[in-house]
């Protein structure tokens, strides 16, 4: 049996390892200490990189760790997977002269320092204020719960799974986000005195009324997206997965996938498709094809991830569309497809694609993984009668993240349709402030 070559993944992992003390001091000394700190303004979670970089620069490492943890309950997780090139590092002023400050690296160093040298826990909630229910222990729910606990509310999180972390725990590959980073942030949440009920799905019709009847005075929904899209042409076949079930199996039961020497086709061109393709290769697949509608330049995935996929030998099929399945009974054996052009430039949806005659191709496929987007589970719209949803079932909220039902708030992927951990953290924080305003009768922000 061919051994899996994981050297490339290890190199990628090494890029995310915490910086050494010396490297952190050197890197923080490059900071211009801007008065208006554009990096801090560009962080959706308000982590305040300008402050923690200054603290590292003046050798106050525990202070830096405290700043990160107190501002962002997912501070360790974010230091591994934030798309910094689009956020804080994009805004870094020194970019006009040289490379931006490695903010993620410094955050990783400080968070790790706080963990290793046992930062004192934050004060526990006194629970002297109202009871609040949070649905989902992913980034949005964790951050909303943490902020409310800091205000002395009595917070209970109801989580469907047996562990915290949401998508990061079950879908994002370990080589990008170690489970220990989630555990570290979750420990900080527990220190705040938040009660967490695992294996407790809130998914029956009108569950919100039940929670209100149990004495919860406000509710936050942070239940993410749990219903991946699939293509009709793959229905009924046994060797196809949506990205969610595939990546979950890679994390919890990778042996059962038996991908050694197989030919795998991944459909999709985003970060999730690349994670699926790289994971399939790391599980021993001989060939992994990535078939996507966009050209290479239009690919929505991050540059770093595309580079990793290239070095892992993933075979890209840009500007291509799968059109039919070749099968042997209920098993897919191959796919046929065609190259495409956009009818209208810049509109990256299948209905805008037209097939180019003479570009037909076929691919051997022992396993097909579909990574073409996702939406909230059907149960979400039934949580409360009259709660307004839109588009693909995402919850509609106002500026303060209050839904159409007073006292019912929502944030994270289930509202924004799928973004980032740091965005979910920022929305959870804003919703917590609005919940406090709602309960104390003050005017919202
Ligand atoms: C493969 C993949 C890779 C990604 N890579 C990155 C990345 O590199 N960087 C980045 O910033 N973002 C990344 N993301 C996006 C990021 O993970 C999400 O934006 C983020 O997790 C959203 O947080 P959330 O709290 O809104 O939802 P989730 O993380 O989905 O958490 C929701 C939680 O609610 C629970 N839940 C759901 N329904 C119920 C219910 N009815 N009752 C009780 N509990 C319930 C779920 O079990 C889950 O724990 C990636 C996503 C995927 C799929
Ligand atoms: S949380 Fe993410 S976006 Fe915010 S400062 Fe840290 S790395 Fe940058």
Q: Could you tell me if 265 and 292 are in contact, meaning their C-beta atoms sit under 8 angstroms apart?
A: no
CA angle 353, 354, 360 (to 5 degrees): 115
Mean pLDDT of the chain: 94
The number of distinct structural domains making up the chain is 3
Say what the pLDDT of residue 6 is.
66
Is residue 204 domain-shared with residue 194, that is, in the same domain? yes
- Together in a domain, 246 and 357: yes
How many CB atoms are located within 10 Å of the residue 70 CB?
16
Mean pLDDT, residues 134-138 taken together: 98
Domain residue limits at 158: 131-225+376-440
Among candidates 72, 40, 70, 69, which has minimal Cα distance to 53? 40
Task: Indicate the residue among 352, 374, 396 that finishes a domain.
Answer: 374
Q: Which ligand is nearest to the CA of 87?
A: 2
For ligand 1, the distance from its centroid to the CA atom of residue 109, given in whole angstroms, is 25
Measured by CA distance, the residue closest to atom 4 of ligand 2 is 43
Question: Do 271 and 304 reside in the same domain of the chain?
Answer: yes
Between strands 408-410 and 374-375, the pairing is unpaired
Q: Is residue 344 part of a domain?
A: yes
pLDDT score recorded for residue 1: 39
Which is the closest atom of ligand 1 to the Cα of 272? 1
Q: Is residue 4 part of a domain?
A: no
Q: Does residue 434 lie within any of the structural domains?
A: yes
Which tokens go with 158?
């109801």
CATH number at residue 397: 3.50.50.60
**222 and 132 in contact (C-beta within 8 Å)?**
no
Ligand 2 proximity of 69 Cβ (cutoff 6 Å): no
Confidence class for position 19, pLDDT limits 50, 70, 90: confident
Tell me: do 327 and 368 sit in the same domain.
Answer: yes
Q: What is the CA radius of gyration of the chain?
A: 23
Which residue is closest in CA terms to ligand 2's atom 3? 43
pTM, entire model: 0.95
In a domain, 10, yes or no: no
Best CA proximity match to 406, nearest among 414, 415, 398: 398
Q: Do residues 355 and 236 both lie within one domain? A: yes
Condensed to tens digits (0 to 9), the pLDDT of residues 162-194 reads: 999 999 999 999 999 999 999 999 999 999 999
- Ligand 1 atom 52, closest CA: 272
Token pair of 121, please?
């826990």
Which ligand approaches the C-alpha of residue 369 most closely? 1
Does residue 2 have a pLDDT over 70?
A: no
Q: How many residues does the chain have?
A: 445
Residues 257 and 334 placed together within one structural domain of the fold: yes
Whether 192 maps to a domain, the answer reads yes
Same domain, 264 and 367: yes
Residues 238, 348 within the same domain: yes
Please give the pLDDT value at position 286: 96
Q: Are 109 and 19 in contact (CB under 8 A)?
A: yes
pLDDT band at 15 (very low <50, low <70, confident <90, very high): low
Distance CA 62, CA 113 (A): 7
Task: Answer yes or no: do 176 and 256 share one domain.
Answer: no
pLDDT higher than threshold 70 for residue 342: yes
C-alpha separations of 329 from 17, 72, 256, 267 in Å: 47, 51, 22, 22
pLDDT of residue 14 exceeding 80: no
In a domain, 84, yes or no: yes
State residue 110's pLDDT score. 97
Question: Same domain for 220 and 232?
Answer: no
d(CA 146, CA 121) in angstroms, rounded, equals 13
Among the candidates 331, 348, 374, a domain finishes at 374
- 290 and 200 inside one domain: no
At 233-256, the pLDDT tens digits run: 999 999 999 999 999 999 999 889
Q: Which of 166, 268, 270, 371 to mutate to test the pocket of ligand 1 (most atoms within 8 A of CB)?
A: 166
Ligand with smallest separation from the Cα of 424: 1
Kindly state whether residues 178 and 243 are assigned to the same domain: no
């Amino acid at each position: 049996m061919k051994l899996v070559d994981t050297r490339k993944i290890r190199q990628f992992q090494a890029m995310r390892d915490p910086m050494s003390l010396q490297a952190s001091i050197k890197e923080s000394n490059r900071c211009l200490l801007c008065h208006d700190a554009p990096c801090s303004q560009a962080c959706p979670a308000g982590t305040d990189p300008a402050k923690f970089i200054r603290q590292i620069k003046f050798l106050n490492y525990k202070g830096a760790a405290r700043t990160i943890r107190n501002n962002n309950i997912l501070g360790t997780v974010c230091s591994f997977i934030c798309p910094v090139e689009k956020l804080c590092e994009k805004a870094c002023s020194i970019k006009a002269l040289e490379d931006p400050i490695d903010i993620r690296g410094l955050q990783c160093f400080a968070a790790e320092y706080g963990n290793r040298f046992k930062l004192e826990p934050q004060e526990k909630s006194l629970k002297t204020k109202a009871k609040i229910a949070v649905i989902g222990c992913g980034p949005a729910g964790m951050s909303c719960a943490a902020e409310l606990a800091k205000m002395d509310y009595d917070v209970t999180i109801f989580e469907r799974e047996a562990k915290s972390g949401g998508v990061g725990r079950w879908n994002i590959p370990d080589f990008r986000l170690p489970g220990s980073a989630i555990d570290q942030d979750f420990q900080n949440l527990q220190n705040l005195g938040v009660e967490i009920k695992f294996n407790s799905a809130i998914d029956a019709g009108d569950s919100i009324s039940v929670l209100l009847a149990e004495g919860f005075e406000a509710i936050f929904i942070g239940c993410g997206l749990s219903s991946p899209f699939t293509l009709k042409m793959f229905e009924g076949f046994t060797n196809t997965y949506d990205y969610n079930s595939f990546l979950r199996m890679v994390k919890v039961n990778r042996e059962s996938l038996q991908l050694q020497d197989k030919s795998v086709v991944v459909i999709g061109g985003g970060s999730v498709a690349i994670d699926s393709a790289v994971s399939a290769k790391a599980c021993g697949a001989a060939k992994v094809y990535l078939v996507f509608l966009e050209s290479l330049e239009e690919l929505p995935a991050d540059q770093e991830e595309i580079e990793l996929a290239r070095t892992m030998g993933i075979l890209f099929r840009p500007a291509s569309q799968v059109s039919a399945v070749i099968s042997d009974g209920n098993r897919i054996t191959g796919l046929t497809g065609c190259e495409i052009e956009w009818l209208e430039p810049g509109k990256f949806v299948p209905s805008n694609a037209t097939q180019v005659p003479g570009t037909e191709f076929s691919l051997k496929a022992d396993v097909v993984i579909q990574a073409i987007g996702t939406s909230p589970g059907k149960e979400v719209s039934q949580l409360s009668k009259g709660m307004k949803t839109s588009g693909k079932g995402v919850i509609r909220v106002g500026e303060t993240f209050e839904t159409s039902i007073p006292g019912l708030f929502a944030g994270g992927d289930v509202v924004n349709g799928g973004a980032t951990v740091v965005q979910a953290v920022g929305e959870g924080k804003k919703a917590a402030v609005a919940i406090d305003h709602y309960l104390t009768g003050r005017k919202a922000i």
